[in-house]
Structure 1
Amino acid sequence: MICSSVTFSQTNNQQWRDSLNSLNRKIELSPYNTDLHLRKAAVNLELQQWEYAVDEYTLILRYESKNLSALYYRAYAYMHLRRYDLAKNDYETVLASVPTNKEARLGLAYMFQSSGRRKEALEQLNIVVEQHPEDPEVYVARASYEAELKLYEIALYDWEEAIKRKPANIDYALSYIDLLIISGKNNRAKTELDKLSGRGVATSLLHPFYNRLKKAKNK
């Protein structure tokens, strides 16, 4: 199984490299075509060639300084290179143009998270929830970080809000149950598991959580 995964990955990489070669040839014929450079940079990202992606997006921004796609994805590449201040600048430039851009706001929050600036990270997560109150993803993002900080009560609240907005999402429900167990709310976790079982969720998904509850009970 591992071998087949490696082979699949190598095949995918070769396809991306072929795409890169094709784009390079097209760019030679049309060096100022922004769309071609954006496509090339996207392939660099797929191949995890972060420095090359940064170079490509920087080239685009020389000609189109407000190209929001180039700014956003350059910030993404900077994040992988741990150049947090540069990522921050790009995310903030996007947000100066479009303050409600969810992806840039979440990217900025993650940048603060990654650089250990907890207060600023939570501030950005609060803003994105205020801007997109009906989007379950923003509650998930905030809940995940709150759980990391062991702010379990408010993290549970945010998981509940995400589930209200997307009740069919089993991953959300399981993440909520996971946090209930972590925070010692085993009775509530059991109730939620039984609800999922009643909905016909696969036993293989629920069994590990039931096992954790049994172990906690036997301690």
Structure 2
Amino acid sequence: MKQLFFLCFALLLPSLGFGQTYQELYEQALEWEAKDSLAKAEELFRQVLKMEPANPRNAFVFSNIGVMQQRARQYDAAIESFSYALNISPTLVSTRLNRAVAYIEVGLSNKAYVDYCEVLDVDKTNKEALLMRAHIYMTRRDYKNARKDYNQLLNIDPANYSGRLGLVLLNQHDGRPKESLDELNVLLEQYPRNANLYVMRANIESENGKQELALMDLEEAIRLDPNSPEPYISRGEIYLARKKKKDARRDFEKALKLGAPHSEIHPLILQCK
């Protein structure tokens, strides 16, 4: 009877995590993570940490725990886990990028900025760090440094959509409509069926007195994406400015039917009386 008990216990040992090496337990945790069984994966990762607390590879264990916490939107806990990982191995670029994202999620963009700077000290061509640091510069209205990062990103990757779009917005904020239109023209050559780009170009054209060109772009945007409310709103505003109130009202009502916020559209409709 005792022999049968010990045999059963021996068979249970691997499932309980006993008798496994650090590497085996780590790989088992990764398998559970791949299956989206995050609670089980985290439990196994924490067993790994207890098994060899001084192992330098624990940086990756903490980083994996942080990624799972981030996926669960536990951003404060994720920041703590990423920080433990970086205390062990400060040059883990992916971990620093992940911590920066978590910092942004909890409104700590200044700390995210430091992480992006640290990444770029290690890898001056890191596209994610350049893009996100440029975005932070934009929120600070530091257009000069934002431009440097966007230009550096586009030097590395001329076809980078987010980088070029960021430069469009930067030029708008910086009072450079011509440069914004130039960048949009480049994007439209790459993405000729992107309705949002036509709306963006139309809005810049309209703001700079080129309403006929704007109307043409809005017609194209509607053709490409007839279920988007944005081109109808923009076209309605042009019609309203031209005192074509009937046409404006028709576009605003269409935008409402397509899901535009009533709080945004109702005041415009009132101006069409």
**Structure 1 length normalisation: TM-score?**
0.77
Partner residue in 2 for 1:137? 196
- Out of 92, 115, 134, the residue aligned to residue 75 of structure 1 is 134
Structure 1 residue 106: Cα displacement = 1.3
**Would the aligned equivalents of 1:163 and 1:169 in 2 still touch at CA under 8 Å?**
yes
Distance 1:122 1:66 in 2: 27
1:121-154 CA distance string (max 9 Å, x none): 2222222222221111211222232333343322
- Out of 103, 108, 123, the residue aligned to residue 167 of structure 2 is 108
Identity over aligned pairs, percent: 31
Distance 2:170 2:199 in 1: 17
The amino acid that maps onto 2:129 is A
Question: 1:48/1:158 Cα in 2 relative to 1: closer, same or farther (>3 Å)?
Answer: farther
Question: 1:21/1:128 Cα in 2 relative to 1: closer, same or farther (>3 Å)?
Answer: same
Question: 1:134/1:200 Cα in 2 relative to 1: closer, same or farther (>3 Å)?
Answer: closer
Q: SS where residue 271 of structure 2 aligns?
A: helix
Tell which has more relative contact order, 1 or 2 (C-alpha 8 A, sep 6+).
Answer: 1
Report the RMSD for the aligned CA atoms in angstroms.
Answer: 2.8
Partner residue in 2 for 1:38? 97
The amino acid that maps onto 2:93 is T
Partner residue in 1 for 2:208? 149
Structure label with greater radius of gyration = 2
Structure 2 unaligned spans of 5+: 1-72
Partner residue in 1 for 2:118? 59
Question: 1:92/1:207 Cα in 2 relative to 1: closer, same or farther (>3 Å)?
Answer: closer
Q: SS where residue 213 of structure 1 aligns?
A: coil
**Would the aligned equivalents of 1:112 and 1:121 in 2 still touch at CA under 8 Å?**
yes
Partner residue in 1 for 2:146? 87
Question: 1:210/1:88 Cα in 2 relative to 1: closer, same or farther (>3 Å)?
Answer: closer
Partner residue in 2 for 1:123? 182
Bigger mean CA deviation after superposition, 167-176 or 127-136 = 167-176
Bigger mean CA deviation after superposition, 93-102 or 147-156 = 147-156
Bigger mean CA deviation after superposition, 202-211 or 41-50 = 202-211
Structure 1 unaligned spans of 5+: 1-13, 215-219
Structure 1 residue 167: Cα displacement = 0.8
The amino acid that maps onto 1:23 is F
Bigger mean CA deviation after superposition, 199-208 or 169-178 = 199-208
The amino acid that maps onto 2:168 is A
Aligned residues: 199
**Would the aligned equivalents of 1:146 and 1:154 in 2 still touch at CA under 8 Å?**
yes
Structure 1 residue 212: Cα displacement = 1.9
**Would the aligned equivalents of 1:108 and 1:121 in 2 still touch at CA under 8 Å?**
yes
Distance 2:258 2:188 in 1: 29
Distance 2:187 2:151 in 1: 14
Structure 1 residue 64: Cα displacement = 1.8
Question: 1:128/1:212 Cα in 2 relative to 1: closer, same or farther (>3 Å)?
Answer: same
Q: SS where residue 159 of structure 2 aligns?
A: coil
